[in-house]
């Protein structure tokens, strides 16, 4: 069979899947600051033109940006190769005026477990407790040059999410795992 025809059929099937799952944006590959920004602008413009609620558009946009930048910072700080530094980001509509923002990337297994624990702890907090924790984190002095992973940004994502955050960690071997975070806005 002609490989161009096979690719066309595969792409058509992928399109059908995206349509059925209401996926607006799906990205898989290495991230850059400019790519994160361009996808973010397209996402924000799409939501603003299709929804009345500007606050939800801004929340979806800011959660996408926070997740993507966290991945970029993590992989950069770990000096991951281009192959290891790839991210998978999916943004979908739920059909009830909500959006699901999911992002994942390869992590050191210990870091991924720490993130899972942090997401689980945040999931036990209500909106008032999340707001209090956010303000407390804002007041803490930050040491220059010290990584603060899973801090203020993750709390902010949890605050914007209409449901508890969901996270998973899939072992890849060799001390690596694939961490996935999902927020419903």
Helix axes 152-160, 54-77, angle to 10 degrees: 150
pTM of the model as a whole: 0.85
Per-residue model confidence as pLDDT tens for the chain (185 residues) = 566 666 667 888 999 999 999 998 899 998 888 888 899 888 888 877 876 666 777 899 999 999 999 999 999 999 988 888 889 999 998 877 789 999 999 999 999 999 999 999 999 999 999 999 999 998 887 766 555 555 899 999 999 999 999 999 999 999 999 999 999 99
Residues 6+ apart with CB under 8 A from 144: none
Q: What are phi and psi of 170, to 5 degrees?
A: -105, 120
Domain range holding 97? 3-184
Distance CA 38, CA 182 (A): 21
Q: How many domains does the chain have?
A: 1
Q: Which residue has the tokens 């942090």?
A: 118
């Amino acid at each position: 069979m002609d490989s161009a025809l096979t690719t066309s059929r595969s792409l058509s099937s992928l399109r059908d899947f995206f349509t059925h799952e209401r996926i607006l944006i799906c990205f898989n590959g290495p991230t850059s600051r400019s790519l994160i920004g361009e996808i973010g602008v397209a996402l924000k413009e799409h939501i603003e033109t299709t929804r009345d609620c500007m606050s939800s558009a801004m929340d979806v946009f800011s959660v996408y940006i926070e997740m993507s930048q966290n991945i970029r910072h993590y992989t950069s700080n770990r000096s991951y190769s281009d192959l290891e530094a790839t991210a998978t980001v999916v943004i979908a509509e739920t059909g009830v005026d909500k959006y699901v923002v999911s992002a994942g990337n390869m992590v050191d297994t210990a870091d991924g477990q720490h993130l899972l624990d942090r997401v689980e702890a945040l999931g036990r907090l209500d909106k008032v407790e999340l707001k209090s924790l956010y303000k407390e984190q804002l007041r803490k002095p930050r040491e220059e040059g010290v990584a603060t992973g899973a801090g203020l940004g993750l709390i902010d994502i949890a605050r914007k999410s209409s449901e508890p955050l969901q996270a998973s960690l899939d072992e890849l071997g060799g001390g690596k795992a694939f961490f996935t975070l999902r927020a419903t806005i």
